[in-house]
């Protein structure tokens, strides 16, 4: 019996993946490698599926298929690949594919675009499916739903680097519609945060121009740039090398900003008791490990001065119902767990408030180091 026709269940699952994704039988080297990973439980079928979908071989196959689909002469020669759907049938097809591939209902713009395209070009279900798979929205969903391996810190780096290469601004601020809107959103959030803190009865951060600030999860600098206009020094930490690289490129003449790529769990490049203020927007919600979050709090306590402030947002409940934890949909900490972390790291809670803009999912905290 050939190694390819083994009755081993894992081997059969692996063979099916090759046939479905790469349209061929697995080669001996690849088959042996992945089968070993599966047997040792170092990777799951989902992980290997993502690897194959990210491979150059798969991307070349998809490019060729799309070129063929869009080539009119090809369609003319292969009429069995075309269809004569009615408008009603085209709409039903769209509804089905949107739910399956994009996890949502078809919107009016999408309905108009695809219905016209299907009817005019006589596209079959297979063609429409492949074109949607190549769409920016589907590619973004694929990057959002990447599975975890045993090395979570490495996953965080790899996944966020991929997202940065795909569309950094989208994964930082998913609502943005233009370049200007993206950067303005950072200014607005920083302004709202500083006003909220300065309006506290204890008169915190009244004079910031001689103070040092640190951002956890700075991305490409959406909030770090406006912070730098208010503080003497502004440091940004991010797990993604690609995000940091883009941030550095956009820094321009801002000399009081420093970007750092970290390992995803600590701030070892920063000295003790250095910062007056630390903050984080939309970062902890993506971290898939409670231990990593706990370690960040310990490190933030180490680098923030006594009486220094820490402002952050955290999940009170999952961002996506019934979804497994990954580097997009991070872990959820209970109020009890968070209070323990706060107390263990020498912080006191000053203010806790629900962020109504996010339907009560996010909670904002302002802490002070004792």
> Where in the chain are the domains?
60-134, 163-369
> To 5 degrees, how large is the angle CA 291–CA 295–CA 301?
150
* Alpha carbon distance 151, 280 (integer Å): 24
CB burial string 39-54: b at 16+ within 10 A, e below:
eeeebeeebbbbebee
pLDDT of 49: 82
pLDDT of 35: 84
pLDDT of 258: 96
CATH number of 163-369, picked from 3.40.50.720, 3.40.50.150, 3.90.79.10, 3.30.420.40: 3.40.50.150
* Alpha carbon distance 212, 226 (integer Å): 13
Which tokens in the block code for residue 91? 């709409």
Contact predicate 93/99, CB 8 Å: no
* Alpha carbon distance 85, 115 (integer Å): 10
pLDDT of 53: 83
Contact predicate 370/309, CB 8 Å: no
HSE-CB of 102 using CA atoms within 13 angstroms:
20
DSSP letters spanning 203-217: -TTS--TT-EEEEES
Contact predicate 293/323, CB 8 Å: no
* Alpha carbon distance 115, 109 (integer Å): 10
66: Cβ–Cβ under 8 A, 6 or more apart, which residues? 130, 131, 134
Contact predicate 333/293, CB 8 Å: yes
3-state secondary structure (DSSP) of residue 80: helix
pLDDT of 227: 97
Taking alpha carbons only, the member of 328, 331, 282, 281 closest to residue 140 is 328
pLDDT of 323: 63
159: Cβ–Cβ under 8 A, 6 or more apart, which residues? 143, 146, 326, 327, 328
* Residue segments in the chain with a per-residue pLDDT below the cut of 70: 1-8, 65-83, 316-323, 355-361
Contact predicate 123/117, CB 8 Å: yes
């Amino acid at each position: 019996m050939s190694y390819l026709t083994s009755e081993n269940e894992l081997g059969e699952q692996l063979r099916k993946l090759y046939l479905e994704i790469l349209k061929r039988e697995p080669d001996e080297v690849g088959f042996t490698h992945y089968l070993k990973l599966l047997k040792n439980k170092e990777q799951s079928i989902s992980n290997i599926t993502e690897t194959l979908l990210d491979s150059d071989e798969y991307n070349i196959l998809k490019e060729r298929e799309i070129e063929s689909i869009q080539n009119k002469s090809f369609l003319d020669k292969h009429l069995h690949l075309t269809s004569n759907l009615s408008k009603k049938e085209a709409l039903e097809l769209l509804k089905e594919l949107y739910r399956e591939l994009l996890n949502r209902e078809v919107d009016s713009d999408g309905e108009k675009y695809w219905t016209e395209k299907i009817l005019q070009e006589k596209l079959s279900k297979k063609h429409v499916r492949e074109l949607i798979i190549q769409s920016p929205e589907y590619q973004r969903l694929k990057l959002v739903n990447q599975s975890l391996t045993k090395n979570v810190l490495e996953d965080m780096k790899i996944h966020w680097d991929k997202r940065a290469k795909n569309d950094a601004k989208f994964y930082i601020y998913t609502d943005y519609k233009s370049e200007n809107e993206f950067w303005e959103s950072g200014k607005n959030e920083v302004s709202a945060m500083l006003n909220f803190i300065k309006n506290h009865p204890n008169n915190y951060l009244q004079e910031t121009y001689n103070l040092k600030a640190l951002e956890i999860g700075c991305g490409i600098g959406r909030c770090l740039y406006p912070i730098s206009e208010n503080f003497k020094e502004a440091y940004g930490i991010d797990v993604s090398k690609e995000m940091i690289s883009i941030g550095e490129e956009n820094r321009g003449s801002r000399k009081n900003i420093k970007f750092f790529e970290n390992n995803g769990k600590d701030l070892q490049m920063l000295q003790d008791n250095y910062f007056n203020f630390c903050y984080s927007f939309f970062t902890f919600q993506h971290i898939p490990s409670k231990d990593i979050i706990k370690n960040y709090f310990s490190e933030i306590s180490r680098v923030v001065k006594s009486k220094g402030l820490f402002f952050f947002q955290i999940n009170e409940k999952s961002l996506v119902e019934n979804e497994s934890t990954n580097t997009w949909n991070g872990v959820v900490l209970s109020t009890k767990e968070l209070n323990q972390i706060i107390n263990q790291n020498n912080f006191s809670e000053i203010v806790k408030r629900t962020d109504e803009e996010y339907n009560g999912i996010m909670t904002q905290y302002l802490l002070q180091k004792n």
